[in-house]
Amino acid sequence: MNSTQHIRSAFDRDLEKLQAQMLKMGGMVETAILDAAKSFETRDLDLADQVRARDKVIDQIEAQINEDVTRIIALQAPAARDLRLLLSILKVSANLERIGDYAKNMAKRTHVLLQMPQIENSSVSLRRLSREVQLMLKDVLDSYVNRDVELALDVIVRDKDVDELYNGLFREFLTHMLEDPRNITACMHLHFIAKNIERMGDHVTSIAEQVVFAVTGEMPTEKRDKGDKTSTDLSMSQE
């Protein structure tokens, strides 16, 4: 094996390791989304605490990915296509870390909502919204592994469904608040949870865009029409 082949072989091993780390991180984030929704629906404080604790591991994996990518770029000076793959891994892992944060925030509010009156159908609706985002995340990770641009583009389109579900929930919470002022505090917390989940969908969409970029070298050309009709992103304002 000559020196060029040796360098290529070392890069391929590093890239495989990075992608394995990223997929492990993605699997943990999928679990966090579902467990956060379940902990809220079942009022399971232990499960909510597990979601919060596991977020630290997700953060650690992202930090390791950042360190490894920086090292590879510095030592191996990868060519354009390889550099594109490395940068896509950085951006995907950053989006995964943010989704994990939103799941953690959702779990944190489980403690608060236990002290408040339950709002009819809210937990089922939020779990359905969470499930939609988790399925999008599963598909986008599959699209990354298989370099499947069509699946990635399908995930981008499906974000509109998440936005529509979120908008419906927003209207429901508003109705509950108008009908009985005693529901205002609980509905505000529920809205923040719903907004967190909607923002998860946006980050999944960003991952899908990175899949398209990694495979084709170009970002998706069509501007994405956001279906969220509420006025502002409140999702992180009360962390």
Task: Indicate whether 233 pLDDT > 60.
Answer: no
Q: With 0-12 CB in 10 A as exposed, 13-18 as middle and 19+ as buried, what is 66?
A: middle
**Angle subtended at Cα 237 by Cα 126 and Cα 44, rounded to the nearest 5 degrees:** 40
- Residue range 46-97, pLDDT digits in tens: 999 999 999 999 999 999 999 999 999 988 888 888 888 899 999 999 999 9
CATH fit for domain 3-216, picks 3.40.1400.10, 1.10.1040.10, 3.90.550.10, 1.20.58.220 = 1.20.58.220
The pLDDT of residue 226: 59
Query: Domain ranges in the chain?
Result: 3-216
Task: Indicate whether 239 pLDDT > 90.
Answer: no
Picking from 233, 174, 231, the residue whose alpha carbon sits closest to that of residue 202 is 233
The model's confidence at residue 234, banded by pLDDT at 50, 70 and 90, is very low
Task: Indicate whether 227 pLDDT > 70.
Answer: no
Average pLDDT over residues 224-233: 53
CA distance 116 to 170: 18
Between 17 and 5, residue with greater pLDDT: 17
Instruction: Calculate the alpha carbon distances from 179 to 189, 194, 196 in Å.
Output: 17, 20, 25
The reported pTM is 0.88
Residues 6+ apart with CB under 8 A from 50: 35
Give me 165's structure tokens.
């579900």
Please state the φ and ψ torsions of residue 100, each to the nearest 5 degrees: -60, -40
